[in-house]
Structure 1
Amino acid sequence: MKILLSCSGGMSSSLIADGLQKEGQKRQEKITVQAVGTEEVADLLGNDQFDIVLLAPQSVYRKDYIQEQAQDHDTPFLMIPRTMYNPVAVPKLLDLVQQELNK
């Protein structure tokens, strides 16, 4: 699974990205996560194929734009719930991502 994870500057999302990759290893699933700022999403979606785009809750002000970019590239979009945007909740977040992809 290839995930594009976006937050305001791409910094805080690195902890979540690492957590998702480690949780994938525990589940014996190959997960790669690219953590970026919201300004980079359009370019990355145009250059690469991702299975899903996740947006950090503190970047809700960019939700419409990021969601539109994801739709333009036929990529599912998920706004991360605030309660799941921490390293302890990563297993629940990964479950939510998998549910979204299995719709």
Structure 2
Amino acid sequence: MADKIIMLACSAGMSTSLLVTKMQAAAKKLGRDYNIFATSVSDIDNQLENTHPDVLMLGPQVAYMKGDVKAKTDAAKIPMAVINMQDYGMMAGDKVLAAAEQLLKEG
């Protein structure tokens, strides 16, 4: 079983799929055992209830939903942040993973 669960959420869960692959590679390189997956923002409630991720990273294209999503993650006591737009655009899995790990430490 994975040490931590990192959930990425975007419009449809599709654009973050490549980023998930890059993050998984970065985690493996660091010897981390994380379950990293992408989903759509419409599936956040379901995932919070059933998967119980340790951290949620919101895609920059849905940053306008941050307030609503943060209210849900705060209620579930799960740290959440919007993925840095430049890191997202560059598909910098290592940097997004580092941001998720920082949230886990602060969480």
TM-score norm. by structure 1 comes to 0.92
Aligned length in residues: 103
Q: Distance in 2 between matches of 1:96 and 1:3?
A: 11
Residue 84 and residue 24 in structure 1: after superposition, are their counterparts in 2 closer, same or farther (change >3 A)?
same
Over the matched positions of the two proteins, sequence identity in percent amounts to 27
Runs (5+) with no aligned partner, structure 1 = none
Matched, 1:50 2:53: yes
Deviation string, structure 1 residues 30-87 (Cα, Å, up to 9, x no partner): 1211211100001110112211001000111211111111111110001111011045
Runs (5+) with no aligned partner, structure 2 = none
The 8 Å contact of residues 2 and 33 in structure 1, kept in 2 or not, is answered as yes
Matched, 1:40 2:43: yes
CA RMSD of aligned residues (A): 1.3
Describe how 1:1-103 pairs up with structure 2 within 5 A.
1-86=4-89, 88-103=91-106
The 8 Å contact of residues 5 and 55 in structure 1, kept in 2 or not, is answered as yes
TM-score norm. by structure 2 comes to 0.89
The 8 Å contact of residues 16 and 86 in structure 1, kept in 2 or not, is answered as no
User: Which runs of structure 1 show a deviation greater than 4 angstroms over 4 or more consecutive aligned residues?
Assistant: none
